[in-house]
Homo-oligomer: A and B are copies of this chain.
């Protein structure tokens, strides 16, 4: 037992908080004897770990209102730490078997790898936590901004369109394909703005800006409930949370919020 180590307190996949609203920590003694431990890094000379829970959670964040409000309450540092830990332990919980041969795998390299060991009859494949690149993009035309409301989202909540980068695509190609698929609009002059990790389950959000040649929308109704163009004043009012704003803006800890602010200031 290393007394200089500490264990992130998790209830399933949910973080526990202390009296001050910070992430709660225990010691390695709090983990079951057979727990798989993921090394999260050093903090003030102490090694920080998280234990892999019995089950992961691949749902989008929208499906978990308790987590939604908890994320809004965490400090940026705690949010980043919890996010990274959540992505890792979730991946382990949902990848206990070898995708190459079906055998049992075991945790390796402090939780940054899983091995399919030969001595258990495995195929010796190595597996690594995945991070899925997702483009999220502002589309501008004639001074207005295209935003969408996904199927199942609350009435009035709009955000930037987004979608996974597919094998064989550049970031710029992924932006153009996603916008065309979801809105029917062709974009040009795609530029990078900012990036952010998003742990639901483990995405790298790549924020971009682009220009559209026209504003005629043909919406993909299998994905989007609404896609609309908003004026600068409407985006400003939504970000300010004004009563009667044209839409509800994404929350401050989402990269879409940052992108909208960037657009207002640009």
Residues of A within 8 A of B (CB): 80-81, 83-85, 87-88, 91, 94-104, 112, 125, 127-133, 164-172, 192, 194-197, 199, 202, 204, 206
Contact = CB atoms under 8 A, between A and B. Distances in A.
Contact of A165 (B83, B97, B98, B131): B131
A171 B206 contact: yes
Nearest to A83: B168
A99 B133 CA distance: 20
Nearest to A127: B99
Contacts of A170: 194-197, 204
B165 A94 contact: no
Given A96-B99, A100-B95, A101-B97, A202 B84 contact: no
Contacts of A131: 132-133, 164-167
11 contacts: A84-B168, A94-B100, A96-B99, A97-B100, A99-B127, A102-B103, A131-B132, A131-B164, A165-B204, A169-B204, A171-B206
Contacts of A99: 94-99, 127
Contacts of A172: 195
A145 B138 CA distance: 33
Nearest to A201: B167
B168 A195 contact: no
B125 A171 contact: no
